[in-house]
Amino acid sequence: MAGLIVSQGRDTGRCIYGGFSNSISLGRSPECDFQLHDPAVSRVHCHLQTIDGTTLLRDADSRWGTFVNGLQVEERMLAIGDRVLVGETELLVTHSDTEANRSTVFPLGRNHTATRTTNHVAKSQTASEDALRDDEQVLALLGNSYLNYELIRLIATSATGATFEALDTVSNQVVALKIFWPQLLIRPNERTRFVRAMKSAIEVNHPKVVRVLNAGRHRGTCFTASELVIGESVSALIGRIGICGMLDWRRVLRIGIDAAEALTAAHAHGLLHRNITPRNLLIRTQDDTVKLNDLVIAKAVNSTHGEKLTIAGELLGDLLYMSPEQLTSERPLDARSDIYSLGASLYAMLTGRPPLEGRNRNETMQWIEVEKPQPPTTHHLSVSPLFEGAVMRMLEKRPDDRHPSAAELLREFQRVAQYENVSV
């Protein structure tokens, strides 16, 4: 019997068991049978129903649409391994009785509470060393071993893989272990590019960059082991603040300074991030330090044929922070593309919304290319004019009109902090 596990988004780890003869609703409304805490999801986004042992998915005239394996659908019979995207939430269709589902399960029912019930999954006595064939087998590693890592809990999944909290039994260090989906990095030249990118990332040792400790290939999949940051992403912080999602501009400035320091270090090693979003900016709880995560991952998994990551069905959240040249230019990107993406992320922190968001994917891409975003003070009156000016410069369409480097951006942020008497 098929079920669904939330593999990406704020509800990661929550599950829906199969076997429901009556239609159940998924959406943002508390009245839905399965409420999703995702502002990009419609109040009632879609419906699920089991018919003759197969799960039927129907879109409920949602604003952004419902996607299955990258294609927008009105109605679709789901199969094991399908990926369903609603808003910025991704659900993986899996067996209801898999180990991955039993580890973190939420009961169905109206007005359920979002309290995780965790059951420790026993390790397999004889873990198979066969190559992992699909995403479901990667998720089923939870509670088992992968190389010298014991997988403790699922942190998140993305378009490229699953990230687990894991214990390195060699160093006795708890790390963030990312296992890439088996369908990625399967060609020899792709693996070579991955190894080259990871070697470059390992060389970056900076307090504002999440440190890559190890990388390699095991059971047919590539992996990275990085320092585990105890805290939350900026994306989670924005969602926790409230419906407006606006942060105090002084805190946003401090986040910008940390992120600019991280980019300065990365660019000094000749590395571009290529996918800066609020989800990739992590805030460490103990001291509020911001660390830049997933350095060079986008480059490492990017197709050798030059395919962009903005394919249909890709998480909308990534598209909203892409620079205009990422969408339109065939020329190599440079540091100014990262500066734009960081500016878009800072804008979202100040206003509770990305700089430009159309009614659909195509309109959003068009607006990013040609439309000028409204100044942050349109939504958040207390923002410093100096800081607003710096953020708006980061969002200029032409790379030549932005800050020429992350180092120059950092200096401007520091001047704003000094002038506005903001402690950093």
DSSP code string of 102-126: HHEE---STT-----EE-PPPPPSS
What residues contact 173, with CB distance under 8 A and at least 6 apart?
167, 213
Q: What is the mean pLDDT of the chain?
A: 82
pTM of structure: 0.71
6: helix, coil or strand? strand
Confidence (pLDDT) at 107: 26
**Count of Cβ atoms closer than 10 Å to residue 153 Cβ:** 15
Q: Can you name the residues that pair with 67 across neighbouring β-strands?
A: 72, 85
How many CB atoms are closer than 10 A to CB 135? 22
What residues have CB less than 8 Å from 315, skipping those under 6 apart? 8, 85, 88, 90, 158, 159
Check residue 71 and give its pLDDT.
Answer: 86
Q: What is the pLDDT of residue 92?
A: 85
pLDDT at residue 424, rounded to an integer = 86
- The strand pairing partners of 73, in sequence order, are 66
Half-sphere exposure of 235 (CA within 13 A, CB side): 24
Task: Note the pLDDT of residue 105.
Answer: 25
∠ CA 341-314-74, rounded to 5° = 140
Q: How far apart are CA 414 and CA 386, in angstroms?
A: 11
Other Cβ atoms less than 10 A from the Cβ of 190: the count is 17
| DSSP label at residue 209 | B
Superfamily per CATH, domain 130-227: Phosphorylase Kinase; domain 1 (3.30.200.20)
pLDDT score at 301: 62
- Nearest Cα neighbor of 66 from 115, 10, 107, 25 is 25
Rounded distance between C-alpha atoms, residue 135 and residue 81, angstroms: 7
DSSP string, 296-311: THHHHHS-TT---S--
231-303+311-420: which CATH topology? Transferase(Phosphotransferase); domain 1 (1.10.510)
Domain ranges of the chain: 2-95, 130-227, 231-303+311-420
Amino acid at 118: T
CA 236, 241, 243: angle at the middle one, nearest 5? 105
Residues 339, 73: Cα–Cα separation, whole Å: 35
Question: Is 2.60.40.1180 the CATH classification of the domain at 2-95?
Answer: no
Closest CA to 103 of 153, 163, 176: 153
Q: Which positions ≥6 away from 273 have C-beta within 8 Å?
A: 263, 266, 280, 292, 294, 295, 296, 298, 338, 341
Query: What is the full per-residue pLDDT of the chain (424 aa) written as tens digits?
Result: 567 888 877 777 777 866 566 789 999 898 898 888 887 889 999 999 888 878 899 999 998 899 998 888 999 999 888 889 998 888 888 765 443 333 222 222 333 322 232 222 223 333 446 888 888 889 889 889 999 999 999 888 877 888 999 999 989 999 999 999 888 887 777 877 888 888 888 889 999 999 999 988 899 898 999 999 999 899 888 877 755 668 899 999 999 999 999 999 999 998 899 889 998 999 999 999 999 998 877 666 654 333 433 333 344 458 899 999 998 866 788 999 999 999 999 999 999 889 998 888 889 899 999 999 999 999 888 999 999 999 999 999 999 999 999 999 999 999 999 999 999 8
